[in-house]
Structure 1
Amino acid sequence: MNTSAYGTEATAEAISAAAVARLEDVRLDWRHKAVPATANGTTHAGFVEAGHNLADLQTPLLTLDARALGGNADRLATWCKEHGVLLAPHGKTTMAPQLWTEQLNRGAWGITLANFAQLRVAREFGVRRLQLANSLTDPHAIEWVANTATEDAPILSWVDSVDTVEVIGRTLAAAGSGAVLDVLVELGGTGGRTGARGVDAALEVARAVSASPHLRLVGVSGYEGSLAHTADQDSLAAVRGYLGHMRQLHEELLDGGLYGSDAVILTAGGSAYFDDVVSVLSPCITAGAEPGGPANGPRVELMIRSGAYIIHDDGFYRGISPFSRDGGEPFRAGMHGWARVVSQPEPGLAILDAGKRDLPVDEGLPRPQLIGPALGGPMEPLAGAEITAVNDQHCFMTFDAGTTSVRPGDVVRLGLSHPCTALDKWTVIPVLADTDGDRTVVDLIHTFF
């Protein structure tokens, strides 16, 4: 394979602009719960061109913020360029080709995905460079990748056991395929998710890859986010220790001549610890045989896979993101929930018309921020209120009845946590120009979960 496939130089369209543009022809109807009944039959383009605003929508509702999305995308793109690292955003966060386009247009290497179904979505929209942050064990997926990946449109995947190497080899042999799949050996950690447990086990996997006629080793992969969930010193030490083992594995693979390519990728880094990934692994970056590089050895690039950053939140990522921790320019929350009071059955308790089917709850419950008598109208801070429980279709909001008035029909704006489990609940999501200012609907984001 031509090593330029792993570089930053674009040799073809990163995503099909025509395929993404066709989303503007989608007709809106009862299948799209964010769209008002009055817009039934209108195309996406027609709805946006009509100049609708927040007041034209209905609850329950999830909206995105164009100003935040653009600012967040610019911020991480600039940071990656300054630090000399590649970005392959984890597309499973949004499953939105329109947002992938924004990331790719800002220089992202490609899009990372989590499973076979997601790979198919990305290829349907013409995403050229793909990475599967997982192992291929489904025979249908193995054959599809073998038949779909090309020199100019690579699909990288991971392996973490000799058994997985053998599964891929048997599947391709049975299919009579002569394809050679590019894989990265995945290092895991005790108590973590996938990944070979320890450097020695990962080296055994790498040797199996090297001996396979159907696989080529092109890098080392891992995910530090499954080993920690806070930014305290113990968690950061665990993350950095794990990344140190990734570096050790890479160095031993180099010494053993086990890489099968003159272009190698080291990849780790979700949206919580990408700064630590770069701090620990960036010394591994080399130019290879290019001018200024060593006479021998592959070109080594470092790739992070942050996915949640473009949306960000008012919860988990707000607290743990490196840009929040280091005192620099933080990301902005790019999503908000809107819910209407449908019942105020007892003093200090209001029931809202949004629930688990509408809003994320796995990384913290929604947080009441503002309240007003109408969606899209003036709102005031909702101090002291709290969401205490969430059912399938309702939120339980407590408040101080002595100082705060809450009536049926009032609208509450909610801060949310964890974009990965927010967007999957909506097939179409309105984008406001600026949630805190101009609430004109400037776009509709289509998701494909």
Structure 2
Amino acid sequence: MPAYDADTVAALADQQVSWQDKALPPAFWGRTVAEVLAGKPRLSQLPTPLMTLSAPGLRHNVDTLASWCTRHGVELAPHGKTTMAPALWAMQLDAGAWAITLANGFQLGVARAYGVQRVLIANAVISPLQLRWIADELANDPSFEVLVWADSVRTVEQMEAARSAYVGADARPLDVLVEVGGIGGRTGARDLETALAVGDAIADASTLRLAGVAGYEGAIGHGVDEANLEEVRAYLRELATVHHRLRPKYDDDVVPVVSAGGSQYFEQVAKVLASEAGEGARVVLRSGAYIAHDDGLYRRVSPLGEHPRTDGEQLVPAMHGWMRITSQPEPGLAIFDGGRRDFPFDQDYPEPQLIRPRPDGSPILPATGMKVTNLNDQHGFLLFGDDQDVVIGDELRVGLSHPCTAFDKWGLIPVVDDPDAADPVIVDLVRTFF
């Protein structure tokens, strides 16, 4: 079976754009995405503020991590909640991703609308309404697979109660992974005894099936120095211990999943857990932010960032912000037309990179030494030196930090052929669902 419904994904090009799409000007409203792209629009035809994606950057990052996973003997189920963009999920699945990871029932609904056939929900699902809907999806589509998490016996009991009251004895079981956590982390069983009790409860349930173990090391580590990396490895060894102790509980037809790995420590996950694949398990990373990378958090901490900790090509930033200078109320201070509703600010402020040419044909100007110091809802503050030439009307390109809080601000994101060009061509429009 295909990994997703290619026809439904392709049909995104038939959707009309409208006033609801803040990335596009009124001149394009009423046209389909395909019609807009047929005109080969340029970046200069779009309003600011604006976020764009880089076509070559996305392609590079997807291919880079896909090949890295192959070399290191692990599989990838990228966290789709980063982008919530079925077209980008399709790109990742086409590159060999084993599944798409999501966080809740709403996101699963988006995935099912686009025919995604295998989903890992990195969370507990205890809502009876959601559990019933998932049961219906499993019943109606024999090729659909979904795995959820549990970190307590009570969670298992609630899932079992909701399902057993709704499905028959011959219903397909719901696959559940035991979530292992760590002190100071997020969710997850905090000790071996609790984790094994959860595994026992899943194995004993009539409508559930024990399918492996999972966890999130990103909530454990807080840096990339050797002490923090060892803390992450210690946690991953605990995850492996739980898996080993649960082996007798797996059904004979189950290939147990051992899953960890965000975008910060995936090389540590492979280092500690990849050997489990040689012993009959499926080791699955869930990195999501890598597809866009960034000019902030992940540039600093990714194993394939500016200071690589593993083999392979470096990831490249594939998302940028664009804004226009609208005011110069004080010497050395400019105000631009983008703010918190447009660009991420939870990790780092946008990073000034270049100023697009003023008259056509003039060279691109570097934004060296300029600094974004604050964002309001719809305004941003840019400091610049006396020797720097900034005037009202200038258009500034910035690097962005943290993809997870960038994509959710844009329902339609233009993809450009070359973000470094004087006037890039728009080659795609990516629809998100948040």
- TM-score higher than 0.5: yes
Distance 1:338 1:177 in 2: 55
Partner of 1:135, secondary structure, is coil
Distance 2:302 2:393 in 1: 36
The worse-fitting range, judged by mean Cα deviation, of 90-99 and 137-146 is 137-146
- Cα deviation 1:224-271 (Å, max 9, x = unaligned): 0111232122221211110010111111112xx112343111000011
Distance 2:204 2:359 in 1: 62
Distance 1:219 1:159 in 2: 11
**Match for residue 441 of structure 1?**
426
Identity of matched residues, %: 48
Residue in structure 2 matching 1:154, options 112, 132, 145: 145
**Match for residue 50 of structure 1?**
39
Deviation >6 Å, runs of 4+:
none
Partner of 2:180, secondary structure, is strand
**Match for residue 241 of structure 1?**
234
Compared with structure 1, are the counterparts of its residues 120 and 376 closer, same or farther at alpha carbon in structure 2 (3 Å cutoff)? farther
2:226 is the counterpart of 1:253: no
Judge conservation of contact 2:371–2:384 (CA < 8 Å) in 1. Answer: yes
Partner of 1:188, secondary structure, is coil
Alpha-carbon offset, residue 36 of structure 1: 1.2
Judge conservation of contact 2:321–2:397 (CA < 8 Å) in 1. Answer: yes
What is the aligned length?
424
Residue in structure 1 matching 2:309, options 309, 316, 326: 326
Distance 2:46 2:77 in 1: 34
Report the AA paired with residue 212 of structure 1: A
- Cα deviation 1:175-234 (Å, max 9, x = unaligned): 244332111100001111111112221001011111111111011100001112321222
Report the TM-score when normalising by structure 2.
0.95
**Match for residue 135 of structure 1?**
124
Alpha-carbon offset, residue 374 of structure 1: 4.8
Residue in structure 1 matching 2:186, options 193, 206, 218: 193
Partner of 1:389, secondary structure, is strand
Distance 1:170 1:259 in 2: 21
Judge conservation of contact 2:82–2:288 (CA < 8 Å) in 1. Answer: yes
**Match for residue 23 of structure 2?**
34
Alpha-carbon offset, residue 151 of structure 1: 4.3
Compared with structure 1, are the counterparts of its residues 41 and 376 closer, same or farther at alpha carbon in structure 2 (3 Å cutoff)? farther
2:111 is the counterpart of 1:122: yes
Distance 2:187 2:203 in 1: 21
Structure 1 residue ranges without an equivalent (≥5): 1-11, 288-298
**Equivalent residue runs for 1:282-431 within 5 Å:** 282-286=274-278, 299-324=280-305, 325-326=308-309, 328-372=312-356, 374=358, 378-400=363-385, 402-431=386-415
Judge conservation of contact 1:58–1:375 (CA < 8 Å) in 2. Answer: no
Distance 1:158 1:426 in 2: 29
Report the AA paired with residue 350 of structure 1: A
Report the AA paired with residue 274 of structure 1: F
Judge conservation of contact 1:130–1:154 (CA < 8 Å) in 2. Answer: yes
Judge conservation of contact 2:135–2:167 (CA < 8 Å) in 1. Answer: no
Report the TM-score when normalising by structure 1.
0.92
Partner of 2:56, secondary structure, is helix
Distance 2:374 2:194 in 1: 44
Judge conservation of contact 1:54–1:375 (CA < 8 Å) in 2. Answer: no
Compared with structure 1, are the counterparts of its residues 216 and 130 closer, same or farther at alpha carbon in structure 2 (3 Å cutoff)? same
Judge conservation of contact 1:370–1:414 (CA < 8 Å) in 2. Answer: yes
Partner of 1:431, secondary structure, is strand
